[in-house]
Amino acid sequence: MNSTLIELRDLNPEALLLDNMDEALVGVGQVGLADPVAVYSQALIFAKLSRDGFSPEEAAAYFQEKMTEMANATYAPVILRDVIEE
């Protein structure tokens, strides 16, 4: 278990996590005085899905489905849209 996951479990054991995406977990976030939640890197999520054999289209559909499922959930994770400078 990585240190970010341990920290999140200590701060908010009810925080929702993405299945099989521990390597895309980049931190713990909090808005105002709300309870902390998991923060995932979108780029790392897509990289993991690619390594798992998903095509770009399948990865996008999977990502959309998971985000839609969690959109209104209490303690839903935050997805960081990585900025890639060229």
Give the global pTM. 0.89
Tens of pLDDT, residue by residue over 3-41, are 999 999 999 999 999 999 999 999 999 989 999 999 999
**Is the pLDDT higher at 84 or at 57?**
57
Residue with tokens 């960081």: 80
Start-to-end Cα distance in the chain: 33
Q: What is the DSSP letter of 35?
A: P
The values of phi and psi at residue 28, to 5°, are -120, 130
